[in-house]
A and B are shown apart, each in its own frame.
Chain A
Amino acid sequence: MTTSQQPIVSARNLTKDFTLGGSLFEKTTMRALNAVSFDLFPGEALAIVGESGSGKSTGARILSQVHDATSGEVTYRGKPLHDWIRQGGKRGFASQVQMIFQDPFGSLNPVHRIFYQIARPLQIHGKLKDRQALTQRVHELLETVGLSPAAETAQKFPYELSGGQRQRVAIARALAVEPDVILADEPISMLDVSIRLGILNLMMDLKDQHGIAFMYITHDIATARYFAERTAVMYVGHMVEWGNSDAVTQTPQHPYTQLLLAAVPQPGAQKSRDMTQYQHKADIPMWQPDSKGCPFAERCPHAREICKEQLPGVTQIAEDHFVRCYLYEPDGTT
């Protein structure tokens, strides 16, 4: 893989706690991310796979400065995020990292024309001064994401576009500032199945042609393998398995990854796989700072005593394939 390259974004032991309501004197704290570390390389996609509430969006929102990390560090081009903010302000950092949101109907301001939505980032970051160049650039961006005729689209309001078209506008808006990293938070999960591939292919082109690094957040492990070079599987705020996408999806090691893959419907198979061992065993736990053990222990068919006591360490399965499970620890039998 691209181990020779320097990672553009690197997260180390990222932890994020959210304080929930609770009563006046007793506040409940939820740990949305627990000691998460990952690297993102230029021109590469890292897929973060997990179910709802697994903390995958929280990670992206820390990178995009919506949330602050409780502990841990994020570096961008080798420099801590906070240094970037101190030097260039949020606005300066925003020109490097952009986000694409899940809901294409909520991510565009309904009262402004498409032209405005794409021209704004260009104006904020002072990319183009005069009107003519601005118009031309907006139209170029719309053509890039496959929305032509661009001049006509630019004059439309968001409600006049379909979900897929709106997601293309959102991508064009993210592209406008010429970012190095795009955080795509479930960009296709709310689109019709028939247009998902189009959006994925568009992002693939951007990745290959513009060298943009993508953090692709999804719950669909099949598209993760299609789109991303590397995949990390998350469960309740923990990274349970990560590495090369092919390795993770072809030879899944962690029971949760196996569950995710077994859940992908296969054409032709007649309800062949036995999912019962995973189902109805327990609810998804809410992770708290004092929770212990493996988060998946409650649902895991292979769970042992130690799984409920202590978080398993990291085991390297292959050159670029890691798992956090006692099944694979050399002395995991203790």
Chain B
Amino acid sequence: MTDYSATSPSDTTPPSRPPRWRRMRNLAAFFQGNLSATIGGGIMALVIVACLAGPWFTAHAPDERVARPHVEPSAEHFLGTTRQGRDVFSQLLYGGRASLAVAFLAGAISTVISILVGISAGYFGGRVDQWLNFVMNVVLVFPQLPLLIVLAAFLGQVGPIVIALLIGITSWPWGARVVRSQTMALRNKEFILAAECMGESRLRIVLVGILPNLISIVAGSFVGVVMYALINEAGLEFLGLGDPTVVTWGTMLYWAQSSAALYTGGWWEMIVPAVAIAVVGGAMALINISIDQISNPKLKTGPHIRRWRKLNQIIQAKRLRGAS
């Protein structure tokens, strides 16, 4: 993008680094000054890596009997075994793959639909907006979890991909509404008017003019849907509406419940997937909180204010010391 060969002689600054490097540095700077992003991103990275590299951490297959039922956590089985004698730790890692895949797939489906619908409604307005808004409202008034239960029950015991599809196509209206209202606000901004005056094509105005301005909202709603999908998937499977032969965090809960793990003293069978879901959900929430600051440059003042406050504290402390 940058070509510095044509700089004027008055320009005394040396050529900057390549932009890709700069972008990486920006990313690093983002995490550096942002505790919640660092913690949330760190947890997510850890969980994803652990799940993907599952076979390296555990020798046991997740769906095979490897020990006696409800063996307590030990060196051989870090997190004990289930009632069926399966290793909980390897179930956690392998099940995480399916659970996270469902969550991210649902998030992606929902985000794509909400962007398409929201931007079209917001930018084109008029009749297009009326119809899309109508569809949005219809999907919005469906009670989601009951609908999912009915759909899942109707389809029989459904696999993770079907669950991801179901969650994806029922959870987009919230995101779409936010995208629509924000697009409507941007649509009347003068830079969009300027682009139209310039003769910019509509597609490019939408994709390059408006969409990048929506990144924080889109990313926020994506993370929100991922969180929601993770929990709902677990909920559906816990109720026995998912395919119980597939190992996910939801089916782990289902098996723990149906084998009365808590009553028989095998608390780890129940606690482990529950904590996993809670931790990942919490990490997502942390990322969601800090995501605004990536795309909204005005919010980037955070560290400066913190630094200024710290400086003020030092000055105050010195003043106090001087007074005493």
Contact among A93, A110, A151 with B4 in the assembled complex (CB-CB below 8 Å): A151
CA distance A95 to B197 in the complex (A): 9
A281 on the interface (CB 8 Å rule)? no
| A-B contacts, 18 listed (Cβ < 8 Å) | A66-B196, A93-B199, A94-B199, A99-B197, A101-B193, A109-B212, A111-B213, A115-B1, A124-B199, A125-B199, A131-B3, A135-B3, A151-B4, A151-B6, A152-B11, A155-B2, A173-B198, A177-B198
Which 6 residue pairs of A and B lie closest in terms of their CB atoms, listed nearest first?
Answer: A91-B199, A94-B199, A149-B11, A107-B190, A136-B6, A151-B7
CB proximity of B191 to chain A, nearest CB, Å: 4
B190/A150 in contact, CB under 8 A:
no
Excluding A101-B194, A124-B198, A149-B11, 11 further A-B contacts by CB distance (< 8 Å) are A94-B199, A95-B199, A98-B197, A109-B212, A109-B213, A115-B1, A136-B6, A148-B10, A149-B7, A149-B8, A151-B6
**Which B-chain residue is minimally distant from A98 (CB atoms)?**
B197
Residues of B with C-beta under 8 A to A95: 199
A109/B197 in contact, CB under 8 A:
no
CB proximity of A162 to chain B, nearest CB, Å: 15
**Which B-chain residue is minimally distant from A107 (CB atoms)?**
B190
Interface size class of B (residues with CB under 8 A): 20 to 34
A66/B8 in contact, CB under 8 A:
no
A173/B8 in contact, CB under 8 A:
no
Residues of B with C-beta under 8 A to A132: 3, 5-6
Residues of B with C-beta under 8 A to A109: 191, 195, 209, 212-213
**Which A-chain residue is minimally distant from B295 (CB atoms)?**
A111
Residues of A with C-beta under 8 A to B200: 120, 124
B74 on the interface (CB 8 Å rule)? no
CB proximity of B209 to chain A, nearest CB, Å: 6
CA distance A95 to B200 in the complex (A): 11
A139 on the interface (CB 8 Å rule)? yes
CA distance A89 to B201 in the complex (A): 12
B190/A103 in contact, CB under 8 A:
yes
Interface 1/0 per residue, A112-145 and B, CB below 8 Å: 1001000011001100000110011001000100
**Which A-chain residue is minimally distant from B4 (CB atoms)?**
A151
Compute the total of residue contacts between A and B using a CB distance below 8 Å. Answer: 99
B190/A173 in contact, CB under 8 A:
no
Q: Which residues on B are within 8 Å of A, measured CB to CB?
A: 1-8, 10-13, 16, 189-191, 193-200, 208-209, 212-213, 215, 295, 297-298
CA distance A93 to B199 in the complex (A): 8
CB proximity of B199 to chain A, nearest CB, Å: 3
A328 on the interface (CB 8 Å rule)? no
Residues of A with C-beta under 8 A to B193: 66, 99, 101, 107
Interface residues of A in 134-185 (CB under 8 A from B): 135-136, 139, 143, 148-152, 155, 157, 159, 170, 173, 177
Residues of A with C-beta under 8 A to B8: 139, 143, 148-151
CB proximity of A76 to chain B, nearest CB, Å: 15
A106/B190 in contact, CB under 8 A:
yes
Contact among A66, A108, A110, A173 with B297 in the assembled complex (CB-CB below 8 Å): A110
A245 on the interface (CB 8 Å rule)? no
**Which B-chain residue is minimally distant from A101 (CB atoms)?**
B190
B213/A110 in contact, CB under 8 A:
yes
A189 on the interface (CB 8 Å rule)? no
CA distance A90 to B189 in the complex (A): 20
Interface residues of A in 65-106 (CB under 8 A from B): 65-66, 89-95, 98-99, 101-103, 106
CA distance A106 to B208 in the complex (A): 16
Contact among A94, A120, A135 with B6 in the assembled complex (CB-CB below 8 Å): A135
- Given A109-B209, A120-B200, A125-B199, A150:B11 Cβ within 8 A: yes
**Which A-chain residue is minimally distant from B213 (CB atoms)?**
A111
A121/B198 in contact, CB under 8 A:
yes
CA distance A90 to B12 in the complex (A): 41
